[in-house]
Structure 1
């Protein structure tokens, strides 16, 4: 069910050790609470729009929706399970991995081991004989999902240095899937600064002429397989083209090329639009941009400065990603770099549990190459100030009024990462706009509707087809 309607930076006060550690010692799920990604973690207590802790959100995933008591692992596993409807997971495989983790005792190591094992098995030939292209194709997509699951928690495992290898394993699985699609997506490297953007351009089977096209933007820690679940398949079924890409801070650009997030996302999207408008199979008047999870900030930012886009969708709307970090983490930051880093290294880091330290390394690696490299060595970064400033630079509160094209803003009941921000974005928009809230009545609650991605896509593409009708 949906509810439909039409129509902060850091402070200057130096935090005490007590204040800085409040809320950080209750388990990694709390630290990951405000994750910027669909494969992130749900908190035990979600921050309210004001930044203060709200009531526990455990009831948002009741009964059979609780695969793990730890909310971080539970949310990630629900994302995997939700991918089954798009062929990006198999229910039995996911639940078997969950059982294996439970038997071993829940930890980053047991989670990584169980899901990596699934990925390895699916990339090998199935037992009892060979596999035809369709079997190989779908096994590879599911493998990409399971490698992504392992990748998210690998920095807390016994082998954090395997992060890049694990990313590459998932990328190989994704590329194998793509190569066996019919038609296979066009692969290209779109110029962007010193590091080209890898793109995968999917077209409907038997398509001819110019087609409407959606550019699918991932979040902070999502992988390409998530874009299949949250857009590519739905687009192809409706006769749309779909463009998947890795931007700064994502996928290849992060894990291999070591390029972190940029606040100027229009500079990322502009060359993608250039590439699309030069193609004979793209309807240049019907190019839409979607942004999942933290990209609910990135996509509107790009739309504010790229007038060739015909529509934009924020999933969910996010004005200030910095508010997605727990208030206790935000309190560590001050304008003084030396002071901030002294508090971080001398007062905060020594008191962190191993799980919380790993969670914070994961949260900050897309914003600091040094943080990522330190994390791969099993160390916690010493410069908190630089990545914190980069996250703060993503604020688009004063930008969204520049958006001219129609905009759809999604929100979710029990949104645990950016509560209240979707409605505030909707209120600030001055272009034609619509707000839709996905709810628990049909199992579509929580950030990005992890248990209902098909419903999610139905809402988005129904709106896109109504907003950008065929000509």
Structure 2
């Protein structure tokens, strides 16, 4: 790798990296052409839609809200949350129109969605809002603050990142407090920094129920878990646990704890806490992983044997491969050499948008990178966070998983193309594979426009795998 880096002429590397804005930048900010649903071990294959080839445009027609793929994907995510009251179609599309009219930029995107969140936390016009109105307005506010948070490092005020996170967290906590019943909130021991958890129940009867642990990805917020599991679980009589792990939410933005490759050390205390509760059926605890957690959750399941079911959404073996090859080539076995290449050859040539993308993608793996980004600077130590991302590779431990597993894949998957099927093929446990497709608007990483379809597939499989007794 070192030799390759030196053999390539500097303009080649710089030109390729500059292309992150138009090409690979879309990949950093967030499949195949034919449907293939392999037969599960001992079970019939699950349906996964009609076989449709890619048209070459992953977001045709009305699904193209912004020309820039990273902003478009994020806005589609916000729009898709409407099915679970996590956004309002009119609010999102009005925001999109305002941003396009003003000129798309990190600044206009952040300002517009933050303002929308602020408005929703104020009293609406007309009569005094009741608890349900305030609850749902807070949920939507949490979504819009999350939208602003995602791009704030590229704005004129990157130092507002923690304040913006706290605004979104405050909206989420308001929503939770107004739920009936309100989720149980506590801190579960984990190293020196406990894990904040939100334990949702369909009611407060104390009935023993199956429970799903919902694991977020590398840059998701709690509100995402409402659309990708909590609401669907409650509707089906399940409990649902939402938590911030290292590199996520409170642990990242406030406590400054970055991702760990040993995710079993995160999940095991959660299982301990759940198993001790009388309203949890300890024999029916499932674990899901959304986005990069499609790597984290399988890692945990390879060591935490009390899990009764696992869902990877999508399956992921090597998160490092989600970065463009031009970025991966910067990493060499030598720290000093790597950082010299980064600081002397790459950083000086990064356009502002690409620099903001790199800041965002590396901050969950490096506190110095996060703090530099908040000062409007690009981090200088590339080697440390890059090796941490590399360490998330689970290729050699997948065969340890004995838990029944569902692997999801997506047509036009941007981040981890091919990896869901590779993970599925390596599994030795009972397994199923489903690809969500453009035929029903469920394409792209995590089906941003189709979380309802997504949850239908996941919970139908979970209830079949863990039937009631």
Structure-2-length-normalised TM-score: 0.93
The alpha carbon displacement at 1:284 in A equals 0.3
Q: Find the counterpart in structure 1 of residue 421 from structure 2.
A: 423
Separation in 2, partners of 1:200, 1:382: 36
Q: Find the counterpart in structure 1 of residue 343 from structure 2.
A: 345
Q: Please point out which of 170, 173, 176 is paired with 1:172.
A: 170
Cα deviation code 1:149-190 (max 9, x no counterpart): 000000000000000000000000000000000000000000
Separation in 2, partners of 1:437, 1:406: 18
Determine if contact 1:24/1:30 at 8 Å carries over to the other structure: no
The 5-angstrom pairing of residues 393-432 of structure 1 reads 393-432=391-430
Q: Find the counterpart in structure 2 of residue 14 from structure 1.
A: 5
Q: Please point out which of 64, 75, 83 is paired with 2:73.
A: 75
Mark the CA change 1:392 to 1:220 in structure 2 (over 3 Å): closer, same or farther: same
Mark the CA change 1:114 to 1:79 in structure 2 (over 3 Å): closer, same or farther: same
Whether 1:23 and 2:16 are equivalent positions in the alignment is yes
Structure-1-length-normalised TM-score: 0.92
Q: Please point out which of 320, 323, 326 is paired with 1:325.
A: 323
The alpha carbon displacement at 1:130 in A equals 1.9
Q: Find the counterpart in structure 1 of residue 287 from structure 2.
A: 289
Separation in 1, partners of 2:22, 2:213: 31
Unaligned 5+ runs, structure 2: 32-53
Whether 1:359 and 2:357 are equivalent positions in the alignment is yes
Unaligned 5+ runs, structure 1: 1-9, 43-55
SS in 1 for 2:92: helix
Separation in 1, partners of 2:220, 2:261: 18
Separation in 2, partners of 1:22, 1:431: 45
Q: Find the counterpart in structure 2 of residue 227 from structure 1.
A: 225
Determine if contact 2:311/2:458 at 8 Å carries over to the other structure: yes
The alpha carbon displacement at 1:205 in A equals 2.6
Q: Which runs of 4+ in 1 moved over 6 A?
A: none
Cα deviation code 1:424-443 (max 9, x no counterpart): 00000000000000001100
Q: Find the counterpart in structure 2 of residue 247 from structure 1.
A: 245
Q: Please point out which of 158, 168, 185 is paired with 1:160.
A: 158
How many residues align? The count is 446
Separation in 1, partners of 2:133, 2:457: 30
The 5-angstrom pairing of residues 39-50 of structure 1 reads 40-41=29-30
The 5-angstrom pairing of residues 8-157 of structure 1 reads 13-15=4-6, 16=8, 17-26=10-19, 28=21, 30-35=23-28, 40-41=29-30, 59-157=57-155
The alpha carbon displacement at 1:28 in A equals 3.0
SS in 2 for 1:287: strand
Cα deviation code 1:327-374 (max 9, x no counterpart): 100011100100010010001000011111111000100000000000
Separation in 2, partners of 1:84, 1:26: 33
Q: RMSD in angstroms over aligned alpha carbons? A: 1.6
Mark the CA change 1:174 to 1:12 in structure 2 (over 3 Å): closer, same or farther: farther
Determine if contact 2:30/2:414 at 8 Å carries over to the other structure: no
The alpha carbon displacement at 1:209 in A equals 1.8
Determine if contact 2:209/2:238 at 8 Å carries over to the other structure: yes
Determine if contact 1:86/1:228 at 8 Å carries over to the other structure: yes
The alpha carbon displacement at 1:21 in A equals 2.6
Determine if contact 1:409/1:434 at 8 Å carries over to the other structure: yes
Mark the CA change 1:29 to 1:162 in structure 2 (over 3 Å): closer, same or farther: farther
Whether 1:442 and 2:440 are equivalent positions in the alignment is yes
